[in-house]
Each structure stands twice: as structure tokens, then as C-alpha cells.
Structure 1
Amino acid sequence: MSVVGAVLLLLLFAVPLMRSICARVPGMLGGWIAALVAGGAVGVIQALIGMVVDGGFRGDIWPVMVLYVAVSDGIAFGACTGWIAGFAVLAAGRFHNKVPAGAGTARGGGGARAAAATAAGAAGAVVLLAAMNLTGPAPAAASRDMEAAAAEVMPADFLRARDSRITDGHGNQVLLRGANVNQLVDLYQHDPALPAVRPLTEADYAAMAGYGLNVVRLNISWSALEPVRGELDAAYLGRVKEAVTWGKKHGIHTVLDMHQDGWWNGPSPEDVQCRPGTEPMWGYDGAPEWATITDGAPRCQFTGRDISPAGNRAFQHFFFNTDGIRDALAQTWGKLAAEFRDEPMVAGFDLLNEPGFGESAPVTTAFKLAEFYGSAIDEIRDAGAQQIVFIEPSIFWSGLGFDTGPVPGFTKDGNLVFSPHLYAESITMDRDLGLPPFVSLERQFDVAQRVAAGYNAPLWSGEYGYWGEDADVLSRMGRYAAAEDLHMLGSAYWVWKQACGDPQNGIGPTGNGLMMEDCATGDDMEPMTDVLELLSRAYPKRAPGTLTSLSAAGPVFELAGSTAEPSCGLEVWIPGKARPALDGTGVTGVKLSRVQGGWSMTGCAEGSYTLNGR
């Protein structure tokens, strides 16, 4: 309906514009220019509506960004469809010339108005039909059908996406809150004396469980998983399986994330000549050498690792499937998923971390990214794996706070979660350039949920975090925690441990992450206690039916929910040594168990229910 409404608005503007413009620029070009200007005018109207709907300026310049995007879209739509208006002008002019003299001039200039109206009507009919055809059937209905079919055969202990929620097989809403683990990533090592990653052990999982975390986004590297094309490395796969097993032992789900930063871990050659404004760069992580095609483009970064000619060219070849490398990664996902298809503690598969944008327009990137996602999902399902598939927009989301994602309707599979990285007011370009936020920390949740709704999918932030002065970090983390609770969402903090030799760490005096490292001695330092207190606040790991409200600060919390069927699936994490005092309505059979780092509360709920803890 929004497309139809936009086209009707375009026609409303096009009729008077055609009369005016075609008088000065006759023929097809006049009609095309009229459509172009009308498209821009439609964008302005859309932006004004968006300003009202989104509540105007709220500590950011989001309305300005909406204006920019909407006007650009409108002009692009006019540019792409203006030829139809141009042909209509030609046809209407010829038709008018054949009308007997005086037939269309009862009111002065009526012939010109009639010709313009005829042209606009003809163009509008064609554009409207084309727009409705391009829109196609709503993908949400197909997604729900696929979701229902999958739910019939998926075992109850597997997690699944259901409309805007992640649930278990009993209909309980599940909040996945945890951290990223990068300790299996095949990272570039700049200093041979400083390892790029820290060892991953079961003790890491025990420690995470002690903070109430119930998910790990396990970053893995395609380069280590498939160093030889077509063959999964058995030793590396064994390490991934070992990590999943440790997670299962400690009640922690795993999201397997195919991680990449800058496409691959190769640095700039020593003799590279970088243009002014760019500089040589370290390597990072990602694809194997056999899947990296750069055509000799320079490995020189602009503003950061994600903008380099070599990286952009590598992504371009990936998106356009040069040498079949895009298909190869999809097939790799099928093989990897087959290894975990029977493991319910694998929550799902994150197909590609922060995809680059290649050398094409964002709309092209979105289309090609959707093609990869669709083929990877097919490979995963053909392998018999039914777990959730996590899809990401491009790296632009992390850098801007918004982005176009893969084209909606790219798959009929309904078991999807939309997983942007919610870094607003953190690593976004606005903060780096000293500009007001494009998207505020709080608004980013609304924007992301709106996009997720377009896929009929839940929202889950695969990464977020804030760095800088301690007071600023805690302030922003506190705001993030409050907004996350308000939206009743889960996420994975970046990052659990970061080695001193990690190129993203920059080789400083400490290895950052929640678990700090002293780079001079290699010893563990005191963890980031203040941040961990925010991350380990009370929350429902599972809640019968649907959560309707949530707020928490440390062990103090309030939650409410509603369930159509009685359920004993309520499970709440509560940090601290003191035994919590609980009260509520609609909750029965409450049990409190002392666990590492806090308390686990279980119970049953029926109808509308509330629970408060002190």
C-alpha cells in the first residue's frame, strides 16, 4: 500500500509539473524530468510523514537522514520510471494533434492540460501496475506457512523464530543474552611475540554462566574451517565442536558466526603505494586465500579496515560469484550445519558477519547479499539442520546506525532472525567525525525492529559495545541496558576476551574485552566489573507466552507477560548473594536455586502474569 500511495502522490505532482515543464522542454525529455522532480517531491512528503511518526528530533538528526534517503529514493524512482512518462507525453501529444481543432480548447490552454493529464494518466497506470507487480505477494504469509510447517517437525528443545519472538518448542519466549567469543578466529598477527587471540577453555564458559549469560556468538573463520577448497579442516571443526559442548554443559547456547573483518587476514604488502588520504593496513580475518580475488587492487584503508580497494574488490567478486566463491561459502554452510543439525544448544547460524558493500550501489549489494543468503539457507536446510538462521545487513549499519538489508521475500524460510549490530553512538561515523548522532542509541531499537518486521522476524543484536572514558562508557551502557529491557530483547556484547596482539585491539598496554589482559606480563587483570554488573542484571531467560514489559537494575526487576496456555517454562536469572524476595500475580510453583554468581528462579504462569524481585 505504501508503494501504491507513493505512486498516486507522484501522479498528483506530475500533472501540474508536466504542464509547466513540457511547455519549456517538449517531448519525451520533458515527461522524464517531470517524473524526476515529482519523485523528489514525494520523498519530501514521505520525510515529513516520517518526522511525525518517528517523533521528530530526539537527540539525533534522524529526520535529516530520513529526508536524505526518502528524497534520494523518490528521485531514483522518478529516474527509473520517467521514461514511461516520457513515452506517454509523446503518445498524448500525437493523440492531441489528431483531435479536431477546438475540441480540447473550450477553456484556454485546455488542450495542453488535456495532453498532460492524458500523459500523466497513462504513465501512472503503467507505473502503478508495475509497482504493484514488483511488490508481489506479501512474503510474511509465506514465511508464516514455512514456520508452521517447520514447527511441526522440529523437536521441542530447538529454538525457533516466531513472528517477533525467539521461542522454544513449548511457546516460551527466550531472551538470548551473552557475549561474542573471538578466540577461535584466524586473525592476522602483527607482532610474533603477541598472540592475536587468547586460548578458549571451558573455564571461559563457566565464568560466563556465572554472570547469567546464556548465549555465545562464537566467531569462526572460513579461512581456518576450509583452508583447502571443498574440505573442512577436521582439527578446527573439532575445536568448534568442543566449544559447543562446553556451552551445552554450562547452559549456554551457541550462535555460529562466520566472521570476517576486511574480508581476509592479509595485510598491505610492504611495497604498497597508497594514495593520499589512505594508508597501509594490517590484515584482519575472514576468507581463505583461494576465495580472495582482488585483481591487484591496493590494500590501503580509508577511515578504517572496511573501506579499502582490495577489500571492496574481493566483496564484489564474492557477490557476483566469480569462480563460484559465493556458492562455495553457501555449500560450506551446508557441511557445517550438517555437523550440528542434531544439537539443540546450537541456537542458529549467522551467515556472514558485517558484509562489505563491494563496488556496487547499496541496492545492488542488498540484492546480491539476498542471493547468497537464500542459497546458504537452502544448503543448510538440505543438510537437515532446522536451527534459526541469523541474517545481517551490510557493514553500513554498524557505521551509520541504519542500512538497507537483504531484499525482503528473498526466501520462503520462516525460521529467520534479523541481526544488525546496534552500535549507535559508539563506533558510528557520526561520533568519529564529531557530528550529532545520525540515530540515537534509543531510537536504533525502533529502526531495527521496523526492519525486522519487514522480514516477519525477531530482532537480535549480534554485537554492541561502548568504549572510551569510564564514566561515558557506563552512561551509554546503562542507556543501552534500559532500552534493551524496554524492547524485551537479547544481544551479544563485543567481546568476552581480546588479546594484546589482536589487530582490532591496536596493540596497547591492555588486551580489552570483558576479561582484561596485561600486555606487559600476559597475566589476567581485573575484569570490567562495572560493565559486567550491567550485563549480568536480572532477566527472564524464558517466559511463558509473550513478555509485555521488562525492567531491571542488578537483582531488582519487574516483568510482565501473557500466555494463552498454562506453562511451567518461566526461568529467571537473578544476580547476587542475597536471596531475592519475590512477589507477583499469575505465577505459581516458584522455586529458587542457588547457582554460581546468583540465583535461578523457575515457576509456572497462566494468563496475564507479573513478577517482581528485590
Structure 2
Amino acid sequence: RRAPAIGVAAFGVLALVVGVAAPVAADATRAEPTAADVPAGFLRADGDVITDGRGNQVLLRGPNVNNLVDFSVPDSAVPAVTPLTEDDFAGMAEQGFDVVRLGMSWSALEPTRGELDDDYLGEIEQAVEWADAHDIRVVLDLHQDSWWNEGTPEGTECRAGTSPMWGYDGAPDWATITDGAPRCQFEGRDISPASDRAFQNFYFDTDGIQSALVETWGELAAVFADEPAVAGYDLLNEPGFGETAPVTTSLLLGRYTDRAIESIRVAGAPQIVFIEPSILWSGLGFDSGPAADFTDDANIVFAPHLYAESITMDRSLGIPPIADMERQFLLAERAADAYDAPLWSGEYGYWGDTADRVERLERYAALEDEHRIGSAYWVWKQACGDPQNGAQDIGDGLMVQDCATDEFAPNDALLDILSRAYPRSAPGRLTSLTADGASIALTGTTDERTCGLDVWIPGDAEPDVEVEHVDDLEVAAVEGGWRVTGCAEGEYSLTAG
């Protein structure tokens, strides 16, 4: 379970973002991606889809992984994370997942200004190596929640209507400038005077802290510039709104994002950059964002967090959705179109009663297939001491931790939906997709014969596959299921189950 992203006070900013759920259009046109822009073997954005550069659309589906996040530790006797091991990647591969969004913390990466921590960098490199060994790509996500990992200092008297709060994760102390604003919260961690002020100072580059992070992105990207297993870079998780939204969440967030992209490119890294709107999207179901012309870079993917009917404030208040699940998909698609970029859901998830979780996740899965996009579910493992987990008897991830025994067991009710059949890659462009467990029906079209069809199908029973205009078909058993591969030309189809 995640702590609510935004509480009642979001109504105060609602008026600022209603009607601007897509980026403002602009006359400037970004350069179109070309084969020369991205080397062979690397994923890239091509119009409204992610491709492999060999004529195949790629769907990236998997979980978020938070084992490397430098969380605050509410109870020193209960670890906030569990060790990340190769077994985790093997387990994800057995579910058919082909991507992880790997959370990293600036506080652990650069605890001393201007110096990357070699040990922590080594943990990231090891994770990428393990992922690659299991045919999983990695999105490197600079994670933060409420800016940094300090909670309310002992002895603090919070103002009426606010309350003490735990710390979470994010920036190092040297990059945290709160100007003495109280570390208290109003209806949720993301409405805190201290974190709002810290974000404000970041957006305005006070003491050069934004410039420092821009430089850090260049250094990190240089490490992975030649690594095709890295699908791309997610520049800042759920950026806060500071104190002057929408100036911060549109103009200034766009300015930071463009600076970081430039730093990554100067370092020679060709991978995709995943861009996020602010935390308001997670809390409201929509948001303004950087203007459509905020960058000239063509290799970007719009990656909002599609939490509609989950942790959005309307659900916490028990009122009808401001933007329901179906509407949020349309808003996200509209925003991605304004950027001339593919859409990818960087986070989503559901909590509460099992039957209700399953019903919402089934709806989400059907919409995801209808829109033919990928995503990263929150979260693979959530340790019992993770401040986002709250005080409960389990660590509520896809692999559920028993807090009494520290043992993990799969949440089969959710994994049965998430591990459903899907095309990891498909020649040309997908034109339709439906799936339920081991049953799948897809169609696509390609201008030339391409041998990039690669379909995951879960389960022990060998699938009965029927195709049209697909040849060289092979069905191979893998851990957890089957991989169906082949070549296609023109309009083609595949069904199984």
C-alpha cells in the first residue's frame, strides 16, 4: 500500500490545472528521430510507439523495483528495503516481464556534492547486469517522495491542521533547502511546507542544486551510454509542485527536464528519456506539464503515473472520480500526442480489499491492451519497514512479505493478471490487442517482412497458436510459460487460447 499522494488541499490547485491536462501546443517542431540518432540494439521512440530500430514495436511491461531506494527507516528494527538479488530478476522473468523501473536515490548516489558513491553505483550496475541476463530491460528512475528522507524533527510543533510525518526518500541533505519551513504534512506527505519549499528552491536552482543534479545525470548516463539493456532514464519521480504551480509544474519542470536531457546527450547516452508530469497527475488523475516544445530531443517517452481510481484524492474522499480510469488513459494519450511521443505508464497500482483490487486491475489491464502500451506496476517487493507500506502485518508488494516471518510469497491474484499474454515485440505496428491469462488475440501491420514477433504466453500447457501471414513460427518453453516467435509481412494476426 502506498501513502496517499495528495490529500484534500489539492482542491486548492485544481483550478490551476483544469482545462490544461495536455501540454500547451507550440509552433516549434522537434527534429524527427532517424536511425542515425540511436545505435543498433537500443530502444528508441518512433512517433507514438517504442521500437527496437529493426522495424518492431516493443511493449515494456513489468514492475517497479524499490530495493535500492534510500528510504527513511521509521523503525530501526524493521528494514525499509530487502536486498536485491538475481533471484528477483529470475522471478520477474518467470512472470513474462521484460522491463523493470529501477528506483535510485540521489541521496545514496551523491551523498557528498560532486562525488558519485562508487559502491552505490556498483549496485545499480549489478542490477542492470542481472536484468540483462534474464532478458529484462531497465528504466533508471531517480526516485523521490516528498523530496528527502527526513521526517518531522523531534520537538517540532506542527501548526493546527497539520501533523508530524515520516520521512520518505529523495535528495541528499546538501540539496535540501527548506528555509526553515516546517516538516509537517497536511492530509498527505506531498503537501508539506518543507518539501514544497525544497522543490521551489530546486526549480529556481537556488545554490545551484538543480545544476548539480543536471551534472549528475550526465555522469550517470556516461556510465551506461553503451548499455542497450538500459531502456532509458526517468529524470525525477513524481516532481513536486513547489509553491507556484503551474509555473513550477509546467515552465520550470520543463526547463529542468530539457537541461537534464542535454546533459545526458552530451555524455553520449542515446537511450530514451522518460518524462513525467508533476505529482498532481498522480493525485488528481491529470495535470498540466511542460509545454509541447520544451525540448528539441526526439527520443522521449511520456511516462505519467496512471493512478486514477487508486490513490487519487477523489477515492480517498469517497467522491466520484474527477478523472476515471478510462478518462485518464485518454488524457495521457492526448498529452503524449502533443509531445509527439509514445505513452508509457511509469507507475500504477491498487490497494485495499482483494476483490476490489482485482476488479480495478482487470479494468486497467483491458485498457492497457486496448491502447497497446506498456507499464510498470508498483511494486515488486515492499518491505515491512518501508514508510510507504504503513503499519500492517505484510509488506504489500507483488511478492508479499510476512512481517512476522520475513518470508515472501507471490500475490497470485494480481500476478495472474499482470503476467497475462502479450507481445514483447511485434513487426511494424500493433493494430489491436486483447488478452486474458494465456489467451491472446492480436493484429498488426508491417510494410516489409520482419522477424521480430515475440509473444509471451504464461502457463504449463503448450499454447495452440493460430496465425495469418506469419511464418517461421516457433513455440519454445521458458521458465513460467512460452515464447512464440515468427516473421510477419503485411497485415497479420495471432491468436492463442
State the TM-score bracket (shorter-chain normalisation): over 0.9
Aligned: 1:559 with 2:447: no
TM-score (norm: length of structure 2): 0.95
- Secondary structure (helix, strand or coil) at the match of 2:141 reads strand
Displacement after TM superposition at 1:363 (Å): 3.4
Letter in 1 for 2:369: D
CA contact (8 A) 2:26 2:293 kept: no
Deviates more, 1:440-449 or 1:211-220: 440-449
The 1-side partners of 2:99 and 2:26 are apart by 37
Displacement after TM superposition at 1:542 (Å): 0.3
Q: Deviations over 1:308-332 (max 9, x none)?
A: 0000000000000000000111110
Aligned position for 2:384: 500
Deviates more, 1:540-549 or 1:515-524: 515-524
Q: Deviations over 1:254-309 (max 9, x none)?
A: 00000000000011011111112110000000000000000110000111111100
1:522 and 1:364, CA in 2 relative to 1: closer, same or farther beyond 3 A?
A: closer
- Secondary structure (helix, strand or coil) at the match of 1:206 reads helix
Give runs of aligned pairs for residues 466-485 of structure 1, distance below 5 A. Answer: 466-485=350-369
User: RCO higher in 1 or 2 (8 Å CA, sep ≥ 6)?
Assistant: 2
1:512 and 1:545, CA in 2 relative to 1: closer, same or farther beyond 3 A?
A: same
Larger Rg: 1
Q: Deviations over 1:41-99 (max 9, x none)?
A: xxxxxxxxxxxxxxxxxxxxxxxxxx9679888xxxxxxxxxxxxxxxxxxxxxxxxxx
CA contact (8 A) 1:143 1:456 kept: no
Counterpart pick for 2:472 among 566, 589, 595:
589
- Secondary structure (helix, strand or coil) at the match of 1:348 reads strand
Counterpart pick for 2:235 among 344, 351, 354:
351
1:556 and 1:71, CA in 2 relative to 1: closer, same or farther beyond 3 A?
A: closer
- Secondary structure (helix, strand or coil) at the match of 1:143 reads coil
CA contact (8 A) 1:263 1:315 kept: yes
The 1-side partners of 2:16 and 2:470 are apart by 47
**% same residue:** 62
Give runs of aligned pairs for residues 564-583 of structure 1, distance below 5 A. Answer: 564-583=447-466
Higher strand proportion? 2
Counterpart pick for 1:529 among 396, 404, 412:
412
Letter in 1 for 2:75: D
Give runs of aligned pairs for residues 192-231 of structure 1, distance below 5 A. Answer: 192-231=76-115
CA contact (8 A) 2:430 2:444 kept: yes
The 1-side partners of 2:372 and 2:418 are apart by 14
The 2-side partners of 1:135 and 1:425 are apart by 28
Counterpart pick for 2:31 among 139, 143, 148:
143
Counterpart pick for 2:177 among 283, 290, 293:
293
Aligned position for 1:15: none
Letter in 1 for 2:330: D
CA contact (8 A) 1:319 1:365 kept: no
Deviates more, 1:357-366 or 1:449-458: 357-366
Aligned position for 2:305: 421
Displacement after TM superposition at 1:135 (Å): 6.5
- Secondary structure (helix, strand or coil) at the match of 1:516 reads strand
Deviates more, 1:217-226 or 1:402-411: 402-411
Displacement after TM superposition at 1:153 (Å): 4.4
Aligned: 1:604 with 2:492: no
Letter in 1 for 2:210: R
The 2-side partners of 1:370 and 1:246 are apart by 33
- Secondary structure (helix, strand or coil) at the match of 1:431 reads helix
- Secondary structure (helix, strand or coil) at the match of 1:561 reads strand
Q: How many residues align?
A: 481
Aligned position for 1:252: 136
State the superposition RMSD in angstroms.
Answer: 1.4
Aligned position for 1:55: none
TM-score (norm: length of structure 1): 0.77
What stretches of structure 1 of length at least 5 have no aligned partner? 1-66, 74-133
- Secondary structure (helix, strand or coil) at the match of 1:169 reads coil
Higher helix proportion? 1
Letter in 1 for 2:443: A
- Secondary structure (helix, strand or coil) at the match of 1:562 reads strand
- Secondary structure (helix, strand or coil) at the match of 2:289 reads coil
The 1-side partners of 2:248 and 2:151 are apart by 28
Letter in 1 for 2:148: W
- Secondary structure (helix, strand or coil) at the match of 1:442 reads helix
Displacement after TM superposition at 1:364 (Å): 3.9
Letter in 1 for 2:308: A
The 2-side partners of 1:460 and 1:506 are apart by 28
Letter in 1 for 2:240: G
- Secondary structure (helix, strand or coil) at the match of 2:152 reads coil
Give runs of aligned pairs for residues 306-321 of structure 1, distance below 5 A. Answer: 306-321=190-205
